[in-house]
Structures are given as C-alpha cells and as structure tokens.
Chains A and B, each alone.
Chain A
Amino acid sequence: MRRIDAIAVVAETADASNALVVCNLGYPSRELFFVGDRAENFYMLGSMGLASSIALGLSLALPERRVIAIDGDGSVLMNLGTLATIASFASSNYLLVVLDNRVYGSTGCQPTCTSRCTDLAAVARGAGVRDVRVASSEEELRMSLSGSGVVVAIVEPGNADVPVIPLSPEEILSRFMERAFPRVRRS
C-alpha cells in the first residue's frame, strides 16, 4: 500500500465521521492536502513528533468530537512516551494512525528502527494501549479505522509528487479552529 493511498483512506473516513485530523509534517501533510483538503485538517509544519500529542489535547478538549492523528514511524519514535500517555489518558474519541514506511521519508528515506527490529504495534501494546490494530492493505486499514486506540498501517516508502501546501500557518490554524468549535463559544 502506498502511503498516499493510506492517507486517502484515512481522509475518507475522517470526512465521513466529521473528525478533526492532525497530520504529521512534511510529505504526509502535503499528500493529505492533495487527496482531501478540509478545514478540519491541521497540517503540521514543524514540531516533529507531536502530532499524536496535539491530537490528544484536542480530543480531551472536545470529548464529543472524533479526533484522528496521522503520524509516522520516525515521528512516533521521536516521542515514544506519547504512547504511554495515550494509554493512560486518551478517551474513545481518539485514534492514532501510524503510517509505518520504515524510513524518514521526507528527508531522503534514511531507515528508522522499524526497518530493523522495532515493532510499533507491540510498543503501543506494551505502553498499555488496549486497542492496537495492524493494517497492511487499504481494506484492512478501512476496517481498522472504526475504533479508537492505535492503528499501525504498513506502507511502502516513497513520497508522492505533490505540491507544497499553499496556506500560511495562521490560515491553517484559524480555519481549523473555526471548525473545531463554533466562534460563539470563544471568549
């Protein structure tokens, strides 16, 4: 499964369930923008490793809203403690999808430890996450997205040839917050 196809499956599910999406920086965000831009997508431009944490904060702030984090193996490895925090504090409205292509894809495909021996699904289980699924095809991925917890999707290395996101950080944030919670509730 190509990563952009996996992202398209997640985007489709997110759209159908009116979910908020926090997407990892680099090509994954560009691919998500290309296959299905929505104001409900928060595209990261920096702070590598924090997609799952930002999504956790969102899901705690908005317990009635579904929140999906799209992360990568390299980024999760940079913030492994997040899995323990998710296990302890995430609610049923939270889903972390780790697209594991076994490389740092946006920087030239240098291998990560999942290319050798690290099993992120096992790490998530060991951290205490009760609901962990592994998906190797688009169909398996589609099925696995219905619940909460963590999904590890095995994808091929490589980036799609997609343009840079033509939005400023302020635009990404303001249109996202407009959809995340109504203006009338803001102080």
Chain B
Amino acid sequence: MIVSLLLPILPPLALSFLLAGLWGPGPHPFRSHPLLKVCLAVGLALGVSSCTYFGWLLIGGPSRMGLMVSESLLAIASSGLLFYVLQKQLFRTAQHSDSTPVPGSDSRWMFGALVACTAVTLVTALTRFMFASLLTPDGDVDAPAIWNLRARFLARGDEQWLDSFTGLLATHVPDYPLLIPASIARWWTYLGDEPAVVPALVAMLFTFATIGLAASSLSLLRGRTQGLLAGVVLLGTPFLIRHGASQYADVPLGFFILATLVVFCLHERAAGHRPGLLAMAGLLTGFAAWTKNEGLFFVPIVILARLLVVVPARGWLTYWDEMRAFAAGLLSVLLIVFFFKIHVAPGLSPILAEQGSATTIERLTDTSRYLEAGQAFFRKAARFGHPGLAVLLIYLLLMGWRTNETDLVGLRTAAVTLGLMLAGYFMVFIVTPHGVRYQIETSLDRLWMHLWPSIVFLFFLFVKTPEEAMAESAGRSKFDVRKFEVDQS
C-alpha cells in the first residue's frame, strides 16, 4: 500500500540522488553525506518531475500511458548516463575530498543533549504535521483555492487542462507557477486516483527536507553540534511546521532559496572550480522561480549577490566562469517558466499590473508607508517563530562569531542575497496597491517563511560552534590565571 503510494516519486528521487552524488560533496557519491544528498534530491526530484510532466502535457497531452512510457525512457537513459559518469568518478581523488566534516571535539554531554532534544522536537513536529494533515486533508485556504485546485485541473482536465488558467476562477491567479500543482498532478496521474494524502506528502517532503538540509549542510560545513542546533531551532519554529502542513508554496520556495545558498557554500569548500555544483545551484534557483512568483525575484538577486561578492574577491573572469555553469542549470528551468508565462498564462501579477507611474511615485514618497512597514518588519523579526531573531542575538553574544577565510565568499553570498531579498520584499510593501496594513496581515508571515530557513543557516555558519567558544574560553582562562598569578606575586 505505502510502496505503491510512493512509487511515482521513487524513480525521480533515485535519479536526483544519483545527480546529487555526482555533483555533491565528499569522496564517495553515495556514502558521503547521504542525508544532505537525500534532502537535495527531494527538491530536485519534485522540480524535475514537475517540469517533465508539464512538458508532457504540452507535447503529448494528458495521456497517462504516454507519460509513464516517456518518463520511463527518460529515466532509463538518464540513469545509464549518470551511472557511467559516476563509475568514472566513484572514488574521487584526494583533491575532491575537501568537504569532509569539520573535525570538532564534540562535547559528549552537549552532543547527547542535542541528539535527545532533536529527537523530541522531530517526533513532536512529525506528529503535529500528521494530525494537522488529518484535520484539514486538502490544506488551508490557499491550498484548495490555488495549488491543489490547479493540480485537479491538470490531472482531471483531459484536453481542457488549460481551463484552470481562465479568469472565471474565484481565485484568478493564472500566472502562479506550476511546480507544486504539476508535482501533485503527476503523482495522481501515475496512481490513477486522487488520494488527499499526496499534497500532504509533497508538503511534508519539502518541510522536513528543509530542516534536514540546513542541519546536514551545517554538519558538513561547521560540525555536527552546529548542524543539530540549526535543526533544533527550525524544528522549534512552530510556524514552519504549521505552514508546511497548510500545503502552501511558501515552504517549498524557502527550501529552494536555502538549497541554492547551501550549494554555493559547498562550492566554496570544494577544491577548484566545480561546474556541477554551480549548475545544481542554477537548477535550484530555476525551481524557486517555478514554485512562486517571488522565486522569479530571487533569480536576479542571486546573480547580483554573486557579482557583488565574487568580483571584488576574485575578479570578473572567475565570475564569468561561474555564471556560465550556473546559467546551464538555471536556463533549463527558466525557459520552461518563461514559456509558461508567455504562452500558457500571459499577464502580469496583480501587484505589478496595478502600478502606474503617478501612483507608484506617490506611494514611494509616502513616509507613513515606510514607517508602518518598517515597524511590522522589526516586530516580525523579533517574534518570528520561536525562537526569533532576539533569541539568536543573545546566543550570538554568548558564543561570539568567527571570520574564517574558507567560508567567507559563501557566507557573504548568503548575507547579500538575504539582505537584498528583504529589501525587495520591503519595497513590495511600500508600492503595494492593496494597502500596507492588508499586505502585512496577509503576507508578512509567509514572506518571512521564504527566508527563515536561510537566515538560520547563515546564522549558524557565522556564529562560533560551542566547541570553538569553549576552546577559546579555555585559552582565555589560562591567560587570565597567569595574569592573576603575576598580580598576586
């Protein structure tokens, strides 16, 4: 029963795991950092399969058998190619084994406490997610009104699948991208049925892959304790779990933003130029744009952030080399997004369509809008989830921060990207035609959710690990004792 339910996602998941193994960190494609690769594979699998499903709808129409045959052929060809390349790289040379976990003298009691705490929060979060899904099987308001509704049109629509892009629908948002609806519709098409558990499973995969990705990548980059701490903070953010279970597209977008920043950091740790990792970053950025319109905004921001960070540090040539590999991944998805926006669901998003030069300038020069939006942003930052930024700030003061040359470019990329995203979201609140208060009440929480997992990742990349803080304190205490002895004498 469970196997047959999961069968439609297993082949793309396996293929994506192979891809993550090929391009990902570690000396062995499968055994090194398996959790990190599985989490990346979840996003890649749902992203790639939604694209192939959409492509099949356009080319072959809504034929179940046609979809299965074409995807199977594609899967066999891709896996053959991936296996061939992987065999050649099975045991990578020592120069590629640079992304091994940071050696840390993990304090045993602290590590034990963290493992226990992670287990408790994980079980609670999983239970909460499952019960929330049982109470509202179709998700909260927007899920049946937008995402799952469109999935039904795609899966049930036969030749008229384009009907879901009509203005007749009560929620007229035809230009919303299709990663979530197409993933669900593809899954339903394979099953030949529409169990309500499928959208809940997609939501669950994204929610827990986000947490797993933050924890596993930080384990690799900063040590196990740091990874567990990030995991505990994310698991202890009730809104992440609640909103994940609501089946909106905000948590998946947050996953792709986080995954892009993680892959850039992994690239910095890798010895030499790794075009595969950069192509993967491009692919993940493209999937962000294929998930929500805010993801389209993320694309130029990543490119700009990389320019602002890489060019001063390494020059234009390095940036150009990086962008070529990045664009190879990005364009393969972005072309699908543009085709969808131009041919399937033309038209501007209401927030852009309702702008005019006079009204926009009027809004931009209205200081009360800045004040209202600014206050809301700061209030949200202090109280978002649990723990909010206020608690993280106290933690930072207790632990201190580090400046490590190895991670500096990755860290700056993440910081600049998140800063620009926040600035961009803030400006949306200023120019919104719906009124600042309405926009704050309806979307501020969700916009924070896009960035929160990446903020937590960036924070734990930047802050000292408990081991580093303890080692520093021990070193300082020796110095202090020596000073005390001199004073006594």
Interaction A to B:
no
**Which B positions have Cβ atoms within 8 angstroms of A?**
none
